[in-house]
Copies of this chain bind each other. A is one copy, B any other.
Amino acid sequence: MTTLKDLSQQLGLSVTQVSRALNGHADVSESTRERVKALAAELHYQPNVSARRLVSGKSGIVGLVLPHLPLPPEDGQFIRIVGGLSAHFSRLRMQFVLHIAEESEDILDVYRRLIQSGAIDGFVIIEPQVNDPRVAFLRDRDVPFVLHGRDCATPDYPFFDIDNHAVARTLTRVLTRAGHRRIAFINGLDGRAYVAAREAGFRAAAAAEGLQSDALMHFTGEMVESHGLLATVEAFRDSACAPTALIAGNTRIAKGIFLALAALGLRVPQDVSLVAHDDILHDALSHVFDPPLTVTQSALDLSWEPLAHCLAGAVEGRSLSSLQRIGACRLIQRASVAPPPEAA
């Protein structure tokens, strides 16, 4: 292991100056900086992390706390989350650790313990609830964190999110513009912030397009096939006021909807139109449906990089404005939408 001292001796410089040269400080002459960098590269100099952390007072470690071991089918997604965050933090020369709470533990106790041990610089929070207690807890203690998602339109903490209100508005408008007047939204788990945002967007767009609120149906539940299936069956139980179009919270729900519609003898898009939001989940790709789905699309896997950067920035104490990002989202029109049958 080459150290700053090794470099400084070989170069006839002080340790101070070598350090400053490598770290891009101003008062180092260009020629010296060149020499230093060249030798550093030649000797494969790598700054000692422990020493650097000792003086900075930071541990260089950030964490993700899960309330329990994820169960199928979400577990497949979690490994992508963990892998993605891990990779991006490692690129930022930080360590990312996963902490899974015991069944019996209160999740806030886990945070308390980790903070107290002083070994963690900050946290990533995923799957935020509306008024998430974790946010309040960490904010109270001035512990840096970043949210995947957010509470409200303009929060006072770092986050990465997509515009869920807009997502729902877009999907709703695609259907109303095709002539649909009775729409059911099969959404995610009640209490999740993004679920609430999408419901609001759905109702706002419907109102703006002149739909009565009693022409709207809204179902919440876990984002799995069976929820899509059951909610669909329920939506079509009373054929008098059955919807002519459906919105799925994600493509996994859409899968369940397809199953239910097939069982009910309804065809997509002739009898029922269907749109969904598409996170590009590997086990439910929107383009392999038959017919391929019209979706708003934003890759969940692109979240980890901005999340890592925002948390790193928060730990360094950068200003909030640079730590709040909103991911892109695009509408992909495919063959799952048609005018409602009455209008044909």
Counting CB contacts under 8 A, is A87 at the interface? yes
Q: Are B54 and A59 in contact (CB under 8 A)?
A: no
In this assembly, does A156 line the interface, its C-beta being within 8 Å of a C-beta of chain B? Answer: no
Tell whether A119 is near chain B: CB-to-CB under 8 Å: yes
What is the number of residues of chain A that contact chain B, defined by CB distance less than 8 Å? Answer: 38
- Chain A interface mostly helix, strand, loop or mixed? mixed
- Nearest Cβ distance between residue A126 and chain B, in whole angstroms? 14
Whether A59 lies near B69 (C-beta < 8 A) is no
Indicate whether A54 sits within 8 Å of B48 (C-beta atoms), given known contacts A87-B99, A98-B83. Answer: yes
Interface flag for A50 (CB, 8 Å): yes
**Do A99 and B86 contact each other (CB < 8 Å), given the known contacts A69-B79, A75-B76?**
yes
CB of A46 within 8 A of chain B? yes
Query: Among the listed B50, B75, B90, B116, which residue makes an inter-chain contact with A79, where contact means beta carbons less than 8 Å apart?
Result: B75
Interface status of A240 (Cβ within 8 A of chain B): no
A residues engaging B (CB < 8 A)? 1, 44, 46, 48-51, 53-54, 59, 61, 66, 69-72, 75-76, 78-80, 82-83, 86-87, 90, 95-100, 116-119, 282-283
Seed contacts A48-B118, A72-B283, A96-B97; 8 additional CB < 8 Å A-B pairs: A44-B116, A46-B119, A49-B119, A69-B79, A69-B83, A71-B282, A90-B99, A95-B95
